[in-house]
Amino acid sequence: MSSNIEKPTVKSSADSLNDYIQSLNAFEKQALDFHSLGRPGKIEVVSTKPCNTEKALALAYSPGVAIPCLAIAKNTDAVYDYTSKGNLVAVISDGTAVLGLGNIGPHASKPVMEGKGILFKNFAGIDVFDIEVKSSSPAEFIAAVKTLEPTFGGINLEDIKAPECFEIEEALKREMNIPVFHDDQHGTAIVSGAALLNACKIVNKKLDDIRLVVNGAGASASACAKIFMSLGVKHENLLMCDSSGVIYKGRTKGMNKYKEEFAQETEKRTLTDALKNADVFVGLSVAGAVTGEMLKTMAKDPIIFAMANPNPEITPADARAARPDAIIATGRSDYPNQVNNVLGFPSIFRGALDTRATQINEAMKLAACHALAELAQEEVPDTVSASYGGERFKFGRDYLIPKPFDTRVLLWVAPAVAKAAIHSGVAQKPITNWIAYRDRLEAIQGPEKVFIRSAIHQVHQIAERQGRLPRIVFPEGTSVKILKSIRALIDEKICQPVVLGEEKNILELAREHAIDMEGIEILAVHNNPLIKKYGAELFKRRAKKGIDATTAEQMMNNPNYFAAMMIDQGEADGMVNGATTNYAEAVRPIIKTIGLAKDHVPAGLNILITDNRLLFLADTTFNMNPTSEQLAQIAIQTAFVAEQFKQKPRIAMLSYSNFSGADGTPSKMKKAVEIIRRLRPDLIVEGDMQADTAVNSDIQNSIFPFSALGGEANILIFPNLESSNISYKLLQQLGKVEVVGPFLLGVRRAANVLQRTTTEETIFNTVVLTALEAQIIHDKRAEISKNSTHGKS
């Protein structure tokens, strides 16, 4: 018998996901796209050995692979010599406590674990496999992880809920012979421990005298409390609170053996009670847990670490309003003193892996604490300031711990951890040459990691001083790639963009591709009243070159010519074109309209960013067969660019021979070297020389010890356009390099030309550097004008 009762509709997983995506705001959709576009996810496995010949394949796999297998079988320690185990960490989670999202399961935790892998790689050169475990109990999780010991050099536990995380870590540390580290506990503890050391130093309080309150009793709170006591805080002076109030002796509600460790004999029952006369508040709980009134009862010069994420227990502004004498830290990057775990775990594992430590023990954690605290007391170099918009940092109340992009962190923390591993007896491979070890650590850090970000911050710093962002013109208003890149440029506050084209067409294209056009100025070229003015100006300059007034005015209908004239006339600061035009057609209006700087040579410059260096290549686009004089000037112009990025120029004048000076190219390059040494004796330059000699210091040292380079060249000047253009384009397509450019050298104003194969990222990078170039030119012109005025007076 049939029923007329309607069954309730049950949404499918696909429908639920679609509803979720529809509910996202613009940033959240960007985050989803970031993870899905191109190859899904954020990580890949890359070969460290060439495997592109039959012989290489035979060595990498059968039959050659049997040889290291047999070697390892004879001595299992050899696994570190013949495999990646010594630089490989497993980031493992069961997804029970993911960020602030809670128990969302192992599948949903995977983006976080991949992200953790990126941080390991970028900050310490450590390779990672992320492993998400589906387990029903701590015992099952422990059993699964234990089986992985032959594969990995270390285990990073992540996002596992308390109290299970304590049991899991304790068991794995006890039963495994490689480092096991629960970063949610110890990473936060180590970094906040460093901050506490320095905060106490600033307010002149001793750790064994301070009264400290921890709000929160989860994994990170417990670990923080333990490391604070290891640093010198007395057990009886530490009160821990959870959602039920103070953890005291005899309390039964919500207690477990891990909380019992911090129970005190006290009459205090609430967080408000606990904070009275306390010197330090450490929050690892929830937003709004503390009020200004509560802070007013704390002791003089209170130390307030409100580290709940994403929103702290009390905002720095509210804390400062209640206690102007407070030292404040949070877990957020938009406030001073961010307690960021990335200051800890990459460098800690680096030190542990490099000594083949069997564990990360208390001595190693404390060594990391002290290293971070001591580094913060050092003078902060300009390179760090440049990574943070030119902001100056100095040890004090608003600078307790180093910044995450301070590349010195690895150089301080990893050796400190390694030494502690050795001294505490857990290192299986002691380091004996610490100078060589520091060199190894420096080799991990390539300038590419901070190159564009540094340039962005320079743009911001100069813009603040100049009082404006540079106005950059984009003639190709109907290029989707250009429009999408401009959106990112606005979000990063790089420039004031002006797009040339018909507004109706551009807006229609933007709607079609869901591009937000807010803040983007659109300027029509057709029938623009400036065409007559610009045409007359071009005719005045180019009449002797055969251009009549009518032709000059007609040329201004070409957006590339119009954009170039805007710059020439001071109505814009820079331009970027070439995304839809071949190079010659894109560069011609710039040279004809803007022209060259005095005594300069037009040339193309490409910047190659590799894993460990910057290379400046010229001339890659312009001069077919430049003379020695032209090559010398191109090299000097390129050296100036390198210096803007804090690179000491080492110039190699390339040829097919090494120091032969033979007729033809070798002679031309040798003569160029002589000219450079005469014009700029301060520059390091050598040639003629082959490319492999230029970039390989081993070849220089062993075969050509007389070479003046004194190291690997970072500026490569090619003898002709064929060799340079072929070289950089091959490297771009076949090498593991990021190629930025080409950039135009020698032009009076900031104007650069893209390649038609350009990507949105390349456009973004090119515009960042064009904006920076425009700002530098603006400063130089202002200085010339100032000097001229003073000369007249």
Instruction: Give the active site residues.
Output: 61, 116
| Rounded-to-integer distance, Cα 489 and Cα 496, Å | 9
Give DSSP secondary structure letters for 639-658. HHHHHHTT---EEEEE-SSS
| Rounded-to-integer distance, Cα 415 and Cα 348, Å | 9
DSSP element (H, E) containing 358:
none
* 106-107-109-115 Cα dihedral, nearest 10 degrees: 130
> Among 382, 386, 472, which residue's Cα sits nearest to residue 775?
472
Burial class (CB in 10 A: 0-12, 13-18, 19+), 600: middle
> Among 136, 148, 147, which residue's Cα sits nearest to residue 106?
136
- Token pair in block for residue 630: 């032209």
Contact, 371 vs 402, CB < 8 A? no
Q: Which amino acid is at 296?
A: K
Please enumerate in sequence order all residues whose Cβ is within 8 A of that of 514, keeping only pairs 6 or more positions apart, or say none.
Answer: none
> Among 521, 743, 510, which residue's Cα sits nearest to residue 621?
743
| Rounded-to-integer distance, Cα 320 and Cα 326, Å | 7
Residue listed under structure tokens 């980031």: 91
Q: Which amino acid is at 530?
A: L
C-beta neighbour count of 506 within 10 angstroms: 21
* 783-787-789-792 Cα dihedral, nearest 10 degrees: -170
- 3-class state of residue 487 by DSSP: helix
Strand ranges in 596-672 using DSSP code E only, listed in sequence order: 603-609, 614-618, 650-654
| Rounded-to-integer distance, Cα 533 and Cα 568, Å | 12
Contact, 365 vs 189, CB < 8 A? yes
Determine the length of the chain. Answer: 793
> Among 656, 682, 651, which residue's Cα sits nearest to residue 668?
656
Residue ranges of alpha helices (H) inside 100-149 are 106-124, 138-146
- 3-class state of residue 759 by DSSP: coil
DSSP code of 380?
P
Contact, 550 vs 755, CB < 8 A? no
Give DSSP secondary structure letters for 177-208. SS-EEEHHHHHHHHHHHHHHHHHHHHTT--TT
| Rounded-to-integer distance, Cα 372 and Cα 187, Å | 12
| Rounded-to-integer distance, Cα 192 and Cα 338, Å | 9
Q: What angle do CA 59, 64, 69 make, to 5 degrees?
A: 125
| Rounded-to-integer distance, Cα 328 and Cα 175, Å | 40
Cα end-to-end span (Å), the chain: 107
Q: Which amino acid is at 436?
A: A
Contact, 563 vs 581, CB < 8 A? no
Please enumerate in sequence order all residues whose Cβ is within 8 A of that of 56, keeping only pairs 6 or more positions apart, or say none.
Answer: 49, 50
